Amino acid sequence: MLESPIFVVGTMRSGSTLFRLVLDAHPHIAVSEETGFMGALAATKQIPNWKHGRGWYERIGWTEEEFDARLREFYSGLFERHAVGQGKQRWGEKTPFHAQHIPQMATVFPDAVFVGIVRHPGAVVHSLTRKFHYATADAVTYWDSTNKEILQRGLELGGDRFSLLRYEDLVQDTEGTLRELVDWLGEPWSEDMLRHNDVQAARGAPRLSAGATRTRDPITPELADRWAEALQGNELELLVDQVGPLAAFFGYDPSRPGPLGPLVPHGAVGRRRLLTGAALADRQRGPQAVALGDRADETIMPDMNPAELAKRLQRAEAALVRVRSRRAIRWSDALRRAQRRAAGMPDELRGARRWAGSRRG
């Protein structure tokens, strides 16, 4: 059995895919592409849309602890094979909607550790509205509710099992942030993490990963604050009004880019960029404490409203029309049609068609 797994949790567009690629470059750690496996695990434990679906396995004499152990054996085996195939001794996984499954993940995998990644709310909201076509209000609520969920679960897990870092620290002080992280994970330092793009290229990783993240690109700190040029007016006012307290907890001013200072001003064991359970609890007891009882769980993965969904579909159809209208594709399609006709028509019929065409001309 391999070492304890690492689960990366965060919102969509938080930089979690870049973080995954960096962790995956470590010679001991294999962090797979998104799998969403907790959706399957949760459905196995509680069959949807059936009144006896919860705890169904008890009907055949299995306790929940026994069933969890069997699920752990099954899913760990899947990821362990992936890790061993890469010559690694520890596995990890990152899927954004797993934020809502943290308690069950912590129970089924009692030795697992969790690393949360948070990004400035303006950057996340801008990306969700521009690239995923979410309404601004939905994107703002999603950032707020999901990060509150992660914060609550981090407080419950404690310092041995949970730590949190900011995307901005990862890209602007990469080595300092990663050194704190691998120390917390109990792993040796590796320079490979600083050249994840070269490692991924040498391994033959796909050029694009989740969220259209380019696996071959180096870390580019300048991209962290690009959102500030586009998020203005009513959108920015809504953001500031709704996420101010939680943004301040993570060291952000929602009205302007960049963090305000170190995540841990007086960090334990020299940590300034990694917020572990104890420091997290201290922060929540201080003046920056945030209310966690008003989380809207249903917004952890918001659906697009019908108007936005229709708009996105129209854009996709228009893009398809543009692609299909390119000259090379039109000629290719015409050639294939001619070949199919030639293969399936008797000589007399082809001749008759040609004669009819000349008469029309």
How far, in Å, CA of 65 to CA of 34, rounded? 27
Residue 207 lies in a domain: yes
Q: Which two tokens stand for residue 361?
A: 């001309």
Task: Tell me which residues of the chain have a pLDDT lower than 50.
Answer: 296-300, 349, 352, 355, 361
Same domain, 192 and 249: yes
Same domain, 72 and 180: yes
pLDDT attached to residue 222? 85
pLDDT attached to residue 223? 82
CB within 8 Å of 59: residues ≥ 6 apart: 52
How far, in Å, CA of 347 to CA of 361, rounded? 21
How far, in Å, CA of 62 to CA of 303, rounded? 36
Query: What confidence tens digit (pLDDT) does each residue in 129-153 have?
Result: 988 899 999 999 999 999 999 999 9
pLDDT attached to residue 349? 47
pLDDT attached to residue 297? 46
Same domain, 338 and 192: no
Element (DSSP H or E) covering residue 9: strand 3-10
Residue 74 lies in a domain: yes
Cβ burial, residue 133 (10 Å; 0-12/13-18/19+) = middle
Same domain, 232 and 333: no
pLDDT attached to residue 351? 52
Residue where the block lists tokens 């994840």? 196
Structural domain including 32 reads 3-303
Residue 309 lies in a domain: no
Same domain, 234 and 117: yes
pLDDT attached to residue 287? 86
Helices within the chain (DSSP H only): 16-24, 37-45, 64-85, 102-108, 121-131, 136-157, 167-172, 174-185, 196-203, 233-249, 277-285, 306-324, 327-344, 347-360
Q: How far is CA 286 from CA 2, 203, 250, 279, 289, in A?
A: 39, 46, 13, 11, 6
Same domain, 121 and 41: yes
Residue 151 lies in a domain: yes
| Domain tally, the chain | 2
Side chain identity at residue 238, one-letter code: L
Residue where the block lists tokens 């085996």? 77
Q: How far is CA 358 from CA 67, 129, 156, 341, 351, in A?
A: 75, 55, 81, 18, 11
CB within 8 Å of 68: residues ≥ 6 apart: 107, 108
The pairing of beta strand 275-276 with beta strand 162-166: antiparallel
The pairing of beta strand 113-118 with beta strand 3-10: parallel
pLDDT attached to residue 319? 56
- CATH number of the domain that 34 lies in? 3.40.50.300
Same domain, 332 and 299: no
Residue 321 lies in a domain: no
Closest CA to 128 of 20, 22, 13: 13
How far, in Å, CA of 149 to CA of 22, rounded? 25
CB within 8 Å of 307: residues ≥ 6 apart: none
Same domain, 235 and 355: no
The pairing of beta strand 29-31 with beta strand 208-209: unpaired
Same domain, 136 and 16: yes
How far, in Å, CA of 95 to CA of 93, rounded? 7
Side chain identity at residue 128, one-letter code: L
- 3-state class (DSSP) for residue 166: strand
- 3-state class (DSSP) for residue 112: coil
pLDDT attached to residue 272? 85
Same domain, 29 and 65: yes
Q: Which two tokens stand for residue 140?
A: 């703002």
Residue 320 lies in a domain: no
CB within 8 Å of 39: residues ≥ 6 apart: 97
pLDDT attached to residue 299? 45
Same domain, 115 and 69: yes
Residue 282 lies in a domain: yes
Same domain, 226 and 354: no
Closest CA to 279 of 292, 266, 260: 266
